[in-house]
Amino acid sequence: MSEQTSVRKVDQSALKVNQAFIITLLILAFILNSWWLVAFVGLVMLLGTAVPQLALFKQIYARILRPSGLIKPDIVPDNPEPHRFAQGLGGVFVALSVGALLAQLTAVGWALAWLVVVLAALNLFLGFCAGCFVYYQLNRLHVPGFHHRPLAK
């Protein structure tokens, strides 16, 4: 309950830069037929979920893009946890994609990678975070660990 009453904020620009990197690198990986580039993206996503300070793409935004004025921050009231969960979920799908590619299940592997591209694109261009939606549904079902409700308006 106390988390809901404190002011919680998220920088939408950081999220969008993260999504843009994920989309671009996964499409590049597909074009180059490069499983290791997919693995790199998955590693960045999973590490960034476990330890936010290690989120490489967000660090690029915070240390280079924002200070240089190339991208302005867009800080809005929101819960960070659902976005972190969404990134982790995406990282799991990317990891599964890598597993499928290494197991020579090429179609399955690239389908999983493209699924992450589509979901990240939905978030980047339409503002719909599928992972956040899952998080809040789990919250409604009172699943342990999913404590945060959508912020009151």
Partner 1 sequence: MIERIIIAILLALVGAAVYYAVKYRHIHRLKINLTGDRPTLLYFQSDSCSPCTTQAHYLEILERQYRDRFAVQKIDTEREPEKAARYGVFTLPTTLVIDRLGEVKYINYGLTNTFRLSQQLESVV
By CB under 8 A, name the binding residues for partner 1: 12, 27, 30-33, 74, 76-79, 82, 114, 118, 121-122, 125-129, 132-133, 136, 140, 150-153
Rounded CA-CA distance 90/146 in Å is: 17
Residue 72 DSSP SS3: coil
* Closest separation in Å from C-beta 142 to partner 1: 15
**Residue number with CB closer to partner 1 (63 or 128):** 128
**Residue number with CB closer to partner 1 (8 or 92):** 8
* Closest separation in Å from C-beta 24 to partner 1: 11
Residue 90 DSSP SS3: helix
* Closest separation in Å from C-beta 54 to partner 1: 25
77 phi, psi to nearest 5 deg: -65, 125
Rounded CA-CA distance 7/128 in Å is: 22
